[in-house]
Structure 1
Amino acid sequence: MISNFTELSETEYSDRRFNILVDVEENGDAKELPYVDSQGIPTIGVGFDLTVGSVRDEVLKAFGFDVNSENEHEQEYLQQIETALSQRYEGDTQAEKNDLLQSALKRAVKS
């Protein structure tokens, strides 16, 4: 029976939970760039599915995008990113698929 408990702040708990996810899901290496996961889904970090609108929006907000902007040009820009993330990337290797995804996103960002 466990008799000693350590009280953690919310920040400490979140940090520990994140580190466990990184260790379990990503072999200790959180992905900072988007990648195509083993199911062919554009993903970032510790398995955040970028094809899911709410997840994609939170990730974009974390990178400084205003996903609620009413500016027409900003909305077109975000639509290009969404289009790049909704594609299926085919390649002979995982690295090739990741390169295709990242190239598509770079094109969207430069538009």
Structure 2
Amino acid sequence: MKTLIKACLLSLLLMMPVAFAADLSAAKQQGWIGEQNNGYLGLVRGDAPADVKALLAKVNAQRKAEFTQIARKNGIAEAEAARIFAREAETRTVPGNYIQSSAGAWVKK
């Protein structure tokens, strides 16, 4: 079952449109946003431009919808689907981008 959940969550990463992914990648590379330990994106720096904050909100809304759908399909809690995604997202994060530690601190990968 975890393999099915991982496959569903991986598909979430692959479904982002290319332009959207490019904006997200740039925002991560500039250190404005990073992957939180709960499966969602978070602000690393409070001085992020409004368009980056809007992008973060949009991505998080899409993730929440996907986590809900995956949780229903697999009979698990939404938070569990998000945690599984968080582990995958951390693994796939490019060195130099930010991830949130289990203690909640932002660290460069």
TM-score, normalisation: structure 2: 0.30
Relative contact order higher in (CA < 8 Å, ≥ 6 apart) = 2
**Bigger CA radius of gyration:** 1
Higher helix share: 2
Task: Give the TM-score of the pair, scaled to structure 1.
Answer: 0.30
